[in-house]
Structure 1
């Protein structure tokens, strides 16, 4: 199946787990992903909420860059993909065929920056009008509200921004990931794997995402995080032994426990 790229937007203050885990899972699912940096103080990289520096595929400064530069980068990253809109001199937003999904990570400062950028809001609005997927995690759901995406529908977010959303949406407290009319929302760093896998499911189907009717964390990690180490995976290597499997399964078990622990204790408001 040939798909158009997924666009992930980052800026200073973006939550690094939510950005990198999402990109990693989507690329492991063989999806083309373009990371676009918005309004970066250091120009060449984003300084995320915990100080991690991420170099985006494309930089969009406030003065000269246009969204169509993103399209050209996407063409280079996914050579087999055909785009209808590749004019580097056009300042119009990308056309319907350009992105299959657009993702807004959280991080309070980063989310507010993206929610206040007119180019981001126009892009999100156009994406919704075309009936295509938008994804928001943690405080990133604020950008959905600012763009008028999914108003009146079901969403979730980090608890710290719930008060800013309850009057415009049917807010869901209990679900890690909420899907409503092509709008995918999630709660925070501890739910990022589920969020990313839901995007994969929406684009490629449950069989590819590994989620199935019942979400099995160990199965989806085995499929997506360490596929080369498990017999029966599409790209497994010939060298794998019992000791390797025991180590990996132990790590996966602890990752599952850690996710449940994160959900139990929640994430402090100043850590969003």
Structure 2
């Protein structure tokens, strides 16, 4: 957009209700980059019901609520792996009393998270830590509780990831997960193209955990339809999510490993 300021102007100057859901989402992103966090949050909440199928949102919310209930019995800090923009970790701050550690490979995204959390008065119990999850800075068995929200699939070349996580986690690892059908050939082609197949198919994910020495089980399983997210019109062809590329049914659950 910096190279095409006329597109940014069109996106920002148009009445909000004339923009399609994808462009509303992108507008919120620009406001956030400008530090206009309150307006960004208000706009970002608008398009979700049109970006995602009701079943998708229901399953996602159910997993988050389930995870929060499980975490409420633990004491001590919760380490959130591959936090990204911190959607899950922010909810943990709002709903729980424990300290929360946001982690990500990118220092830039963590700096964004700090500005966001400070603006909304949520930074008091937060720590930020940038590292490569495949080579973490933690001591053996140092972590009692670790979480992630669809984060495993975003870690590139995760060959020894689970062995490293097993080294540092002495308690439980909770991973909100969504799994694609094994016979979904159209989506599977894109999944394999981007090297995301290890954790996005259930059997592969569970086998990978067991091979790394974990005891693993799925909890709170449910199924819901998912559709490709709409593409931008002002920012022509821009997508919110790469997957799915065609309608599918996702199997959701909370993976619990120890």
Q: Which has the higher contact order (CA 8 A, sep 6+)?
A: 2
TM-score relative to the length of structure 1: 0.33
